[in-house]
Amino acid sequence: MKKILITGGAGFVGGNLAIKFTEIGHEVVCFDNLVRRGSELNLNRFKQHNIRFVHGDIRNPEDFIGLGFKPDIVLECAAQPTAIDGYKNPYFDLTNNTYGLVNVLEFCRKNNSALIFWSSNKVYSGDLCNSVPVVEGETRFRWKEDDTFKLRGWSKDGFNTKLDLNGSEHSIYGVSKVAADLICQEWSGAFDIPVIINRYSCLYGPHQFGKVSQGWITWFIIAKILEQQLTFYGFKGKQVRDYLHIDDACDLTLKQINDINNHKGSYYNVGGGINNTVSILELNSLLDKMLGVDDPVLHAASRRSDQIIFISDIDNVCNDFMWKPSRNFKDGLSEIIEWVQNNISALKLLL
C-alpha cells in the first residue's frame, strides 16, 4: 500500500485517480482549492469511498503545513488547464501552473516524496507543430507524404520528446507548463527527487466537466445532450488529436508509481498515439449518430497557438512501462453519454 497525495484531487484527473487507487487499497488524500466549477461535485464521491479531502491551494505553502500526511508519492494534477484563458490573465496561469508547482516540489523535497507531474502537449509550439506539411482530406488533415521533410522530434508516428521546446505560440498556459516541466527536471536532478513528467494529449472520460477550451471531447457530448451551441474554431473542424481514456491514464500512473525510482527525471509524451486519433469533424459526426441528432455547428477563426495535428509518439512510455492504451473509443463515449444523462440537473447548473 502507498500513501498518495493528489493535488488538484477534485478535478477530472485527480478524482478518477483517487477513486481507482482507493479501490485497490492505497491510502489517498485529495487536496484542491475547488476553484474550477464542477470539482465540488466529486466531494460526495470521496465520502462514498472514505477518501479524505483537504481544502487547500498549492499557491499557498502554508496550506501544506497542517496536512498531517507524509505521502510516498504526490500526483500533481493541479492546474489552470485551459489554453485560451491565459491571454486574459497570464499571472493566473503562472501562479497556478508554475509557482504552485514549486511549492509542491518543495513539499516533496522536505518529505522525501516522489512526484508524478501532469504536463501538456502545449509545451510544444503551435508554429513548430504546424510546420509539418499537411494535406486536407474529406474529414481531417493528414501529414503529407514527403520524404524530403525532416524535423527533429517528428515522425509519421507523431511527435516525440526530442521536439524543440523553444519558440512562441505555446499559449500562456503552455509556457507555464514548459517552465514547470523544466523545473521538475531540475529539482529531480538537484535534490534527488524521483520525478516523472507526462506531457498528456487529450484525456477524456466520465466525471469530466468539459468546456469549449478544455475537455473538448466530453464538452461535445454535454453540449449535444443539453442543446448547447457547438463551434468549430478554424481548419474547418479537420484538426486532429490523439485521445486517451482516463482509465488508461490511471493504469499508466499505477505502473509509474511502482517503478518511479528506475525513471527519475524522465519525461514522456502520453496520449492514444497514432492508432487512436480523431478530428473534430469526425467526432461530431460520430456523436450525431450515437445520439440520433443532427445539430448545426458554427465556424469561427482558429485560435492563437492552435495545432493543426498533434499526435503523441508514445513508443518511449509504452516500452518503459510495458503499457499501451486499450480502451475502445466508442465504448468510452458511451460511458460519458450515460454519465451526462444521469447528471443532467447538476451539469445544467455549470453552464
Task: Give the three-state DSSP class for 251.
Answer: helix
Contact 274, 176 (CB under 8 A): no
Catalytic residue among 124, 173, 204, 268: 173
In 271-349, at which residue ranges do the beta strands (DSSP E only) sit?
277-279, 297-300, 309-310
Nearest to 45 by CA among 57, 60, 30, 24: 30
Grid cell at residue 194:
524521483
Task: Give the three-state DSSP class for 114.
Answer: strand
Q: Other C-beta atoms within 10 Å of 312: how many?
A: 28
Largest CA distance in the chain: 59
Torsion of CA 29, 35, 36, 42, to 10 degrees: 40
Using the structure block, give the residue that is written with the C-alpha cell 450515460. Answer: 338
Grid cell at residue 140:
481531417
Q: Give the integer Cα–Cα distance in Å for 120 and 178.
A: 8
Torsion of CA 265, 266, 271, 276, to 10 degrees: -170
Using the structure block, give the residue that is written with the C-alpha cell 477518501. Answer: 51
In 178-221, at which residue ranges do the beta strands (DSSP E only) sit?
195-200, 202-204
Q: Is 204 annotated in the active site?
A: no
Instruction: Give strand pairing partners of 278.
Output: 241
In 25-110, at which residue ranges do the beta strands (DSSP E only) sit?
27-32, 52-55, 73-76
Nearest to 310 by CA among 122, 180, 79: 122
- Indicate which residues carry an active-site annotation: 173
